[in-house]
Structure 1
Amino acid sequence: MDEYVIQCWNCLGEFDAVAAVWCSCDPKNPTKLCPYCLQCFCQATDDFKGRFWQYAPATLLSERSSLRRIKDRLGELLVRAHVVRVEQLLAALERQSQTGDKLGQLLVNNGLLSGEELDLFLQMQSIPVPNEFSKEYVDTEQLHKINPEFCLQRKLLPLQTFHGANRSFLALAMANPQDMETVEIVSRKTGMRVVPFYGDEFAVSSFLKNYVPPGGARILEQETTDYQGIVRKIITGAIKRHASDIHIEPDANNLNVRYRIDGVLYKVKSPSKKDQGPILMNLKKLAKMDLYNSRIPQSSKMVLKLEEQRYQLNILSFPNPYGESISIKVVNLSTFLRNLSEIGLTEGQLGLAENSLDARNGLVLISGPLMNGCATTEYAMMRYLSTSNKKVMTLESPVFSHIKNIHQSEINPSLGFDFITGLNSIIRSNPDVIFMSDVPDAEVAATVCKIAAKCVVIASLNSISAASTIVLLRELGASSSLISQALSLVINQRLIRKVCPHCSEKSPISESLLIRMGLSEDEAKGLNTYAGHGCKECNYLGFTGRIAIFEVLSPDQNLKEMIARGASALEIERGAVRNGLVTLRSRCLDKINQGLTTIEEFQKCKF
């Protein structure tokens, strides 16, 4: 895929213009939105525009050419109304060139608008926009609803309303139809989607003088809130505090914003509840989501660059009784990809992992509770295999980063591409290694075990220990005998918070108290405990970052026989310990003794 990194003319941030969303200012000549400041470059200098298009890749030039050839005004109106995105219009135009079908019918067939709404927009195409306005051309009810003073200030006039079964549209004459801020304000005031038309500034002002006395237009401060700046501050604030997730959650009285930092959620200063609508609208616009559909979950992702670091934002929206909740996973692409030797495996564990990856077949399971770094381990393995001569194919949901020499594909159930469909397709390509980011059901579990007899299969599961991972696969529907034959390695991991080295100090705890906290007498004896008292370097939390600990189970023949006869997780773990397994519990206690983490982390992880 092409990549075209440019510097925003407005905020000077760098972003990939190919991946960025098109603006809807002028559907026949759109520009790209900067993901930092949410500004397109329609208002940039001619020199900036000239340089952008001079060096633009063929992908962008082809898309612009297609848009400029549009003869049907319908597509332009639909983009201005935010009913379809420029990208969706481009796809429909491409389809139209192949089939010869009418554009409107193609958009209806694709579910982008209803037949009723198509009729409304066909009517809208014939709206007269005169050089001199009179009452017969203006919707005076909407004029008073918007506020005549505001209309004069922004040089706009409501022309006509069009009501559908599920949503309504307002045709709006504007001296500057590219003013998206004003369009969004009018949309909020009227509760309708705005379709901007060009209206002569002098003609608009002349008509409005009948409704606003001389000197009557005042500055309406409440309409000038910088919602794009609020969104920008929420995202950059999370990145600067090294948050892994952003959660924006409305309730009856507040719009709550929380950051997940080192696995713990912290509430941060949140915007006012009255700003909820425009803030969520700006976020969804940035994520290329359907702006006006809040009834179904949506997902998207985008890449941005901040202070020489590249970040991927995986954005999810889902219905909430008080609006919509937005969750954003922040992935630092500059540090996410690591070598297998850098993720925290001991020398012995690393050797077992490499041997399993280098084998001709076998099932490798990566497991841990949610948000405990399994994706980092998966990608470290992919990176290790990318330098081999093996054919490696993946089924991921989602793809976090692209790795050279790895054939990666993203699951999309809405298009009929699920894990079992992907597996059945991949196996016909004779891969050496298959990666699976999840094992969702019995059919996939059984298929994975069967395929592992022919090639290496690496799959991820949510589980609390290596032994319970094996039992979970059995409970999903794979037979004990199949698991026993296929299994090569199980890695279970946990991320534990690291004591801040700048404020760490010894914090002795008596053996009797340690025993009451869940340790055995042998574990409590002589254990050194530490704590961070908080300092500027760790934002006075006492912790800075997290470290990974692992338990790696490599089954021998005796353990395989236990698995085949359906042994419990406890029985499997005891057999693995006799075979040399060092459990997560022991690893964590070792990190406590070294002063790298705290006894509170041990209790929280419930080893």
Structure 2
Amino acid sequence: MAQATEKKSAFRKSVQDSSSGVLLGQLLSKDGQITRSQFKEAEEIHKKKKERIGKVLQKLGYVDEDTIVKFISRHLTIPITNIEDDKPDEKLLKLIPWETAKEHMVFPIRSDGKNLSVAMIDPTNHGAIEVVGSQARQVVKPSVITEKDLIEAFRKYYKISDEEYEALTKIDEVEEDTSDDGGVNMDTYDDIGGIISDATDEIDTVGGEEEEDSDQLGNAGDAAIIKLVNSILLKSINEGASDIHIEPFEKTFQVRFRMDGTLHKVMNLPPTIKAALISRLKIMASLNIAEKRRPQDGRIKLKLGRGKSIDYRVSVLPTLFGESIVMRLLDQSKLQIDMTKLGFSRKMLDRFMKLIERPQGLVLVTGPTGSGKTNTLYSAVNILNKPDVKILTAEDPVEFNFAGINQVNVRAEVGLTFASALKSFLRQDPEVILIGEIRDMETAENAIKAAMTGHMVFSTLHTNDCPSTIGRLLDIGVPGYMIASSLTVVLAQRLLRRICSKCVQEVKPDQQQLINAGVDKEEVADFKLFKGKGCPACGGTGYKGRLGVFEMMEATSTIKDAMTAQVEESQLRKIAIKEGMWTLRQDALDKAKQGMTDIDEVLGKTVLVKEALPAYLLNPDELTFENGDLIVKEGNTDKNFYQLLQGNLVIIKGGRIVGDISQPSEYFGEMSALMDQPRTATIKSKGKSIVKVFPGDKLKQTLENYPEIALKIIRSLVMRLTEADKKLSKIGDRV
């Protein structure tokens, strides 16, 4: 014990005596947190820029801040401070003035008159400790804190202005990486119009359009083009865009940003710089600049200051007037993985949290592209990300990386698919598995097997709502009983634009519009609606940010029974609502009533699902037949039609067996109802069978008004006619 104490004391002294914590890097290397070569690289930058080595290592991406904080705490035997848990004495703010706190990145916590407890980013900075101690005339007792928490404490307790806060959190400049691997020096470009003019002036247009591509490839490295590309990238970050669209047309070359789910034109560029600008982006994304006939995909990693970087997923598509480029911004610092901030109601969130913490099961998140499914999955998995939990993910591609989670990039060209990754995952002893998407029977089957063998499996599907998700799984071949035995919950979602809080105002609702939207007539009179007027904060749009609306269908015993019986989608929806499912439209209307979004977003992003089927289709009679029982008799004039739920049936004509019916959900007996003629065959049960019975006088109405049912009836009819045709052909061949 004494040796351990001496060792820690020696460590503390040597760190305090070292210049800007160089020894910290050495000890991180010895501890295996970084490699020796990574430390040497960071040390060179530290010597050149006089920046503390811990910060340099973070900027290089070799170690994260949490690792450094825990390492310092462990080896210096000092606590980690959380300002929210460890409330500071606000009287001490006068003892340590703001300028001192900012200069040395230190925050006072408490004092007994002799000893001053402070939180610091770098407790190894002995010079800062001496300055603070001298100013306070007390012995400084440091603790360690993350930079993010420290800056938030500055904002909350020192009451710093928004400008000071932004200055502390703003992107620092870093040297440009001249190796063209995507590193970019992000300067602030105020005069974009001037930059465009400079770029245009540098392009030699003497060859005309025919020579444009060959002449301008060399211009991709011109300073003006580089500056223009950088300005577009920086503008997209500053304006909160999720995607950049660079599009060539016959006489124009435009740039659009997708913000809050909507595209906005942000600049028109001269067509003469088209080739140079596109070539520059392709170089940054490590793409083939000579290939203009095929689509290409790449990635740009933008290195920013304060240890931050942003990735752009780049897609290049050849179009009629040149290559169109779309870039998706992947900014992990803006990724919202706090489940409480996604838009869930408290009741739904509490239930969902309990469901995902079960030891095994299948959780499906569904919705169209861009509806926030990835965010929700990451948030759910992040809740389960604990030291005693092994988590594996298969993604196409991996967009954000997380500490403590093993993430795999799907690569179909080498045989690494979602299905094959799942098989390998089961040999890696995980508790939690995330599969980017269920696209086929093999992936679905493997996911369900994993969920049934002690794993919690998360995945997505592209369906409109919760009940249609079950129909999708049935369509790709998954039996209903397998879905029922593995499924825990289905979550459908959409993203709606949020009303700007700076210009929100109440508006008079159109009562008929509310009724059409699904609001009960009794509630219309008291239903309040809101809208954004438009202001500088939201760019005049009336919207700022987005929020999720959700529909959650928990796999209760009643719903599991319905899945096993493979009931129609509309009937499953009715059952789910009775079991407590809150629909997307209901959730959207509730958020509109609270002033979070407006009625236009509700109507544009969600649909009203009414009672789609009449009672005779929703709740038909179900009859059980034993072996040999008669279901339909040849020559009878009854008009009912049927659907097989379970078992096997035989078709008898003229005393001979001429066929069978064995496919669950197959319809039969509809010809007599359609043609108004006596039955042409006898149908008996082969073993035990269960059959639905529908009134024949409603068949024509069903075919005319309910295409979902009509399609299945027609398919059954076509299938039987095809089989009959094959048999007749065989008989003809024999003759």
- Normalised by the length of structure 2, the TM-score is 0.53
Aligned counterparts of 2:516 and 2:581: Cα–Cα separation in 1: 26
**1:365 matched to 2:364:** yes
Could you report, residue by residue, the CA deviation over 1:51-90 in whole angstroms, capped at 9, with x for unpaired residues? xxxxxxxxxxxxxxxxxxxxxxxxxxxxxxxxxxxxxxxx
Measured after TM superposition, the shift of residue 546 of structure 1 is 0.7
C-alpha spacing 1:522/1:304, structure 2 compared with 1 (3 Å): farther
For residues 317 and 195 of structure 1, what CA distance do their matches in structure 2 show?
16
Contact 1:299 1:316 survives alignment (8 Å): yes
Against the structure 1 CA distance between its residues 357 and 254, is the aligned structure 2 distance closer, same or farther, given a 3 Å change threshold? same
1:280 deviates by 0.6
- Counterpart of 2:451, as a letter, is A
Q: In the superposition, relative to structure 1, how do residues 512 and 356 fare at CA in structure 2: closer, same or farther (>3 Å)?
A: closer
- Which residue identity does 1:603 align to in structure 2? L
* 1:356 maps onto 2:355 in alignment: yes
Task: Confirm or deny: 8 A CA contact 1:246 1:327 kept in the other structure.
Answer: yes
Alignment CA distance shift 1:423-1:507 (3 Å)? same
Q: What is the CA RMSD across the aligned residues, in angstroms?
A: 3.6
* Aligned equivalents of 1:520, 1:603: Cα separation in 2: 16
Q: What's the secondary structure of 2:250's corresponding residue?
A: coil
Query: Helix, strand or coil for the counterpart of 2:399?
Result: coil
Amino acid at match of 2:337: R
Deviations 1:297-318 (A, max 9, x none): 2222233355756422111122
Q: Which residue of 1 aligns with 2:341?
A: 342
Residue 135 of structure 2 corresponds to none
Alpha-carbon displacement from aligned partner over 1:347-377 (angstroms, at most 9, x marks no partner): 3323333333322221100112211111111
Letter of the 1:34 counterpart: G
Note the C-alpha offset of 1:487: 0.5
Whether 1:312 and 2:311 are equivalent positions in the alignment is yes
Distance 1:408-1:222 versus aligned 2 partners, 3 A rule: closer
Do 2:493 and 2:548's aligned partners in 1 also have CA atoms closer than 8 Å?
Answer: yes
Structure-1 residue corresponding to 2:528: 528
2:184 aligned to which of 35, 42, 49: 35
Contact 2:584 2:606 in 1 (8 A): no
Q: Is the 8 A contact 1:16 1:303 kept in 2?
A: no
Structure 2 CA distance for aligned equivalents of residues 566 and 341 of structure 1 = 35
In the alignment, is the contact (CA less than 8 A) between 1:446 and 1:477 conserved in 2? no
1:128-184 per-position Cα deviation (integer Å, ceiling 9, x unaligned): xxxxxxxxxxxxxxxxxxxxxxxxxx9xxxxxxxxxxxxxxxxxxxxxxxxxx99xx
**Match of 2:273, as an amino acid?**
D
For residues 280 and 497 of structure 2, the distance between their equivalents in structure 1, rounded to whole angstroms, comes to 34
Relative to structure 1, the CA distance from residue 33 to residue 372 in structure 2 (aligned partners, 3 Å threshold; closer, same or farther) is closer
1:321 to 2:317 alignment: no
Match of 2:282 in 1: 284
Is the aligned partner of 1:476 residue 2:489?
Answer: no
Cα gap change, 1:533 to 1:429, in 2 (>3 Å): same
Name the amino acid aligned to 1:544: K
* SS state at 2:591 partner: helix
Name the counterpart of 2:577: 577
The aligned counterpart of 1:247 is: 245
Where structure 2 has 5 or more consecutive residues not aligned to the other structure, the ranges are 1-33, 63-175, 188-201, 608-735
Match of 1:491 in 2: 491
Identity %, equivalent residues:
26
The CA deviation string for residues 473-530 of structure 1, in whole angstroms up to 9 with x for no partner, is: 2223322121111101111111111111111111112313433566553453421011
How far does the alpha carbon of each residue in 1:36-59 deviate from its partner, in whole angstroms, 9 at most, with x for none?
Answer: 469xxxxxxxxxxxxxxxxxxxxx
* Conserved 8 A contact 1:231-1:279: yes
Which position in structure 2 is the counterpart of 1:92?
A: none
How big is the shift at 1:329?
0.9
Closer, same or farther: CA 31–324 of 1 in aligned 2, 3 Å = closer
In the alignment, is the contact (CA less than 8 A) between 1:37 and 1:228 conserved in 2?
no
State yes or no: 1:465 paired with 2:614: no
Structure 2 counterpart of 1:411, one-letter code: V
Distance 1:430 1:493, change over 3 A: same
Aligned to 1:294: 292
User: For residues 243-299 of structure 1, what are the alpha-carbon distances to aligned partners after superposition, in whole Å with 9 as ceiling and x for unaligned?
Assistant: 111111222222232111111111221211121111110001111112212233222
**Structure 1 length-normalised TM:** 0.64
Q: For residue 574 of structure 1, report the CA deviation from its aligned partner.
A: 1.7
> 1:330–1:446: structure 2 CA closer, same or farther, 3 Å change rule?
same
Structure-2 separation of matches of 1:191 and 1:235:
23
Q: Distance in 2 between matches of 1:317 and 1:237?
A: 20
CA distance in 1, matches of 2:391, 2:513: 51
Local SS of the residue matching 1:494: strand
Q: Distance in 2 between matches of 1:294 and 1:510?
A: 52
Q: Distance in 2 between matches of 1:600 and 1:478?
A: 38
Task: Note if contact 1:363-1:486 (Cα within 8 Å) is conserved in structure 2.
Answer: yes
For residues 428 and 574 of structure 1, the distance between their equivalents in structure 2, rounded to whole angstroms, comes to: 40
Aligned in 2, Cα 1:574/1:517: closer, same or farther, shift over 3 Å? closer
The alpha-carbon distance between structure 1 residues 425 and 519, as it changes in their structure 2 partners (threshold 3 A), is: same
Q: Which residue number in structure 2 is paired with residue 432 of structure 1?
A: 431
Structure 1 residue 555 corresponds to structure 2 residue 704: no
- The one-character-per-residue Cα deviations of 1:311-332 (angstroms, maximum 9, x if unpaired) are 2211112222222221111122
Pair 1:575–1:222, CA change in 2 (3 A): closer
Q: Give the equivalent residue in structure 2 for 1:272.
A: 270
Distance 2:305 2:270 in 1: 29
- Preserved contact between residue 495 and residue 549 of structure 1 (Cα < 8 Å): yes
- CA distance, structure 2, for counterparts of residue 511 and residue 427 of structure 1: 55
Cα offset, 1:394, TM superposition: 0.6
Residue in 1 aligned with 2:590? 590
CA 1:472/1:399 → structure 2, altered by over 3 Å: closer, same or farther? same
Q: 2:242 & 2:276 partners in 1: Cα distance?
A: 24
Offset of 1:18 from its aligned partner? 8.0
Counterpart AA for 2:571: E
* Larger CA deviation: 234-243 vs 296-305: 296-305
The whole-number CA distance in structure 1 between the counterparts of 2:232 and 2:217 is: 30
Q: Who is 1:374 aligned against?
A: 373
The one-letter code matched in structure 2 to 1:277 is A
Tell me the equivalent position of 2:236.
238
Q: Which moved more, 1:424-433 or 1:449-458?
A: 424-433
One-letter code aligned to 1:534: G
- The alignment partner of 2:491 has SS state of strand
The residue aligned with 1:174 is none
Residues 446 and 479, structure 1, Cα contact 8 Å, conserved in 2 = no
- Cα 1:233–1:195 change in 2 (3 A) is closer
- Judge conservation of contact 1:303–1:310 (CA < 8 Å) in 2: yes
Query: Greater relative contact order: 1 or 2 (C-alpha under 8 angstroms, separation 6 or more)?
Result: 1
1:539-591 Cα deviation digits (max 9, x unpaired): 11111001112222111111101011112332222212211121121111111
Match of 1:139 in 2: none
Match of 2:256 in 1: 258
Distance verdict in 2 for CA 1:246–1:192, change over 3 Å: closer
Specify the alignment match of 1:417 in structure 2: 416
Match of 1:226 in 2: 224
Contact 1:452–1:486 (8 Å) recurs in 2: yes
Query: Quick check: 2:489–2:555 contact (8 Å CA) kept in 1?
Result: yes
Q: Secondary structure, in 3 states, of the residue corresponding to 1:452?
A: helix
Is the contact made by 2:246 and 2:253 (CA closer than 8 Å) also made in structure 1?
yes
Q: Write the mapping of 1:163-242 to structure 2, written as runs, cut at 5 A.
A: 226-242=224-240
Does the residue aligned with 1:429 lie in a helix, a strand or coil? coil
